[in-house]
């Protein structure tokens, strides 16, 4: 309840919201600059780009903070951001990293968001989606991401990160807060191809595959980050 009141105050004050977004962007840069990072499986998006293919990169809502610096940046990047107050704060913050936003969600947001995503994917751009956002359940994928990939005929590529120093906050999405002065890892998964002719059962199987791959990737990133602490 206190969090909702706080967000309502931010939503009513453009000045406070701009300050918060600036602070979030500065924190991302601080964490990126003070950790020793490596990117594993970066050849996955590079291979797709070389083949002239667009992609949807998928990451959990709780691990969105460092995604703007998760490279490689091989095409214009767009992120699907929900229209509620949390989403507006995130949208303003990611603009500091030359990322464009599309307002909506895979569950709601109307035909306009869908059309925008399909157009940008058709233009060869990348679209980032949190398939468990904006309200969860955490780390459970909605079928919306599968539908978008099916219509656009592009693969879904999971991506995540982990750091040797972090806090996991007591929020619905178990928000992963990386801390400065450690080691960090970005981990890209293999592309998930979505057939264009899926029926309802096929969409559910694809949704479950996306969810399983994303959770496996997060566990693997956590394992490697834990090894880096030793």
Note the pLDDT tens digit of each residue in 192-219.
999 999 999 999 999 999 999 999 999 9
Please give the pLDDT value at position 84: 62
- Can you tell me the mean pLDDT for 106-128? 86
Two structure tokens written together for 28 = 């991302």
37 is in which domain, residue-wise?
Answer: 2-229
Which residues does residue 101 pair with via DSSP β-bridges, in sequence order? 79
Q: What is the CATH number of the domain that holds 109?
A: 3.40.1130.10
Asked if the model's pLDDT at residue 174 lies above 50, the reply is yes
Q: Can you read off the two tokens belonging to residue 146?
A: 């599968």
pLDDT value of residue 1: 47
Residue 145 is inside which H or E element, if any?
Answer: helix 144-152
**Distance between CA atoms of 58 and 66, rounded to whole angstroms?**
13
Residue of higher predicted confidence among 102 and 6: 102
Percent of the chain topping pLDDT 70: 89
For the chain, the domain total comes to 1
Phi, psi of 20 (to 5 degrees): -65, -40
- 195 cis-preceded (ω within 30 degrees of 0): no
Note the pLDDT tens digit of each residue in 64-112: 999 999 877 889 999 998 766 666 677 778 889 999 999 886 665 568 8
- 20-58 pLDDT, tens digit per residue, is 889 999 999 999 999 999 999 999 999 999 999 999 999
If we measure between CA atoms, which residue out of 144, 146, 119 comes closest to residue 134? 144
* CA-wise closest residue to 151 among 109, 111, 189: 111
Within 8 A by CB and 6+ apart from 133, the residues are: 61, 82, 105, 173
With residue 215 as reference, give the H or E element that holds it: helix 200-229
């Amino acid at each position: 309840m206190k969090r909702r009141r706080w967000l309502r105050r931010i939503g009513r004050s453009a000045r406070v919201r701009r300050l918060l977004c600036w602070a979030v962007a500065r924190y991302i840069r601080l964490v990126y600059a003070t950790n020793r990072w490596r990117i594993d499986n970066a050849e996955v998006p590079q291979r797709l780009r070389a083949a002239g293919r667009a992609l949807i990169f998928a990451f959990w809502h709780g691990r969105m903070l460092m995604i703007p610096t998760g490279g490689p940046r091989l095409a214009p990047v767009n992120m699907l951001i929900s229209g509620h107050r949390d989403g507006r704060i995130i949208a303003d913050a990611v603009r500091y990293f030359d990322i464009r936003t599309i307002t909506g969600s895979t569950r709601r947001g109307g035909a306009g968001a869908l059309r925008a995503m399909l157009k940008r994917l058709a233009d060869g751009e990348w679209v980032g989606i949190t398939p468990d956002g904006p309200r969860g359940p955490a780390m459970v994928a909605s079928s919306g991401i599968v539908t978008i990939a099916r219509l656009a005929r592009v693969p879904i590529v999971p991506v995540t990160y982990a750091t040797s120093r972090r806090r996991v906050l007591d929020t619905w999405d178990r928000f992963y807060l990386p801390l400065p002065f450690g080691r960090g890892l970005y981990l890209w998964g293999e592309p998930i191809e979505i057939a264009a002719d899926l029926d309802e059962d096929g969409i559910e199987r694809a949704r479950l595959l996306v969810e399983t791959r994303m959770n496996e990737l997060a566990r693997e990133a956590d394992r490697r980050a834990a090894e880096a602490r030793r």
